Amino acid sequence: MLHRLPVNKVIALLVSANPYARNLYFCAMHDIEPYFQWRDAYIASEDQRSPLYGRDYDEFYYTNAIYNYYIHPQWDEIGSPTLYIKIIYVDYELHYAIIEMIGEWNDCITNDIMTLRREITDLMQNEGINKFMLVCENVLNYHAADDNAYYEEWHDEVSDNEGWVAIINPLKHVSDEMYGYGLNHYVHLLTDSPWRGRKPRALLKWAEQQIFSQNLLRVG
């Protein structure tokens, strides 16, 4: 069964079973590309309204790394030493964005949520985006801060415009950590999305069904 899965899925399963296997994951990161099946419809570096507009990529020269392990050059750095992203789809008419992420999400030491917000999502909100789907299949660990102020602020801002933030397909131990620190009061933690191979709007529809029919967010 495992031989039929892509490398990131195999390693994610191993890490979920044994979080100490993260070195295996890091060694394979240079082969893990951002999802590219929607590039015919959207490319962030060519979108003048995107915070990543104008970025250049070298397919053959690896420069970005996490803990000295190189990652694929198509990932975008945002100012965090361990967390990288790719804006893989944006729809300004329906006000939603899909962002894929890789690495370790560390709010405790490097305040990655602040970096993500100030460098990326705040700028996208200024362009009318109020629904954010963060695909976290390749986020290996989550380290919480002392409080969830940035998440609460984000929730309040997007909900004022009938928006929301959803974390899609986190690894089980990552999801458990996020639940343990109460992130589910401000963002939706959604698992088991079969989003690959589908259209972006299908993921939006699936997320909205999960959010509104199952009432997953518990505020307060």
**CA pair distance 12, 9, nearest whole angstrom:** 5
Residue 61 has pLDDT above 90, yes or no: no
Asked whether 150 and 113 are in contact (CB, 8 A), the reply is yes
Q: In this structure, which long-range contacts are made by residues 41-49, counting pairs with CB atoms below 8 Å and at least 24 apart in sequence? A: 41/89, 41/200, 42/88, 42/89, 42/90, 42/200, 44/76, 44/86, 44/87, 44/88, 44/90, 47/90, 49/90, 49/92, 49/127
Residue 1 has pLDDT above 60, yes or no: no
Q: What is the pTM of this model?
A: 0.86
**CA pair distance 126, 96, nearest whole angstrom:** 13
Give the least confident one: 65-79, 151-165, 191-205. 65-79
Question: What's the half-sphere exposure (Cβ side, CA atoms, 13 Å) at 96?
Answer: 18
Residue 5 has pLDDT above 50, yes or no: no
Question: How do beta strands 65-66 and 164-168 pair?
Answer: unpaired
pLDDT at residue number 2: 40
- The whole-chain average pLDDT of the chain stands at 88
Q: What is the pLDDT of residues 17-48, one digit of tens each?
A: 555 555 555 556 667 899 999 999 999 999 99
Tokens standing for 84?
């990288």
pLDDT at residue number 19: 53
| Nearest C-alpha neighbor of 143 from the set 17, 22, 7 | 22
CATH superfamily name and code, 2-214:
STAS domain (3.30.750.24)
Residue 178 has pLDDT above 80, yes or no: yes
Asked whether 188 and 216 are in contact (CB, 8 A), the reply is yes
Question: How do beta strands 69-70 and 76-77 pair?
Answer: unpaired
Domain parsing of the chain, residue ranges: 2-214
Give the least confident one: 19-23, 57-61, 127-131, 197-201. 19-23
Q: What is the pLDDT of residues 73-121, one digit of tens each?
A: 999 999 999 999 999 999 999 999 999 999 999 999 999 999 999 999 9
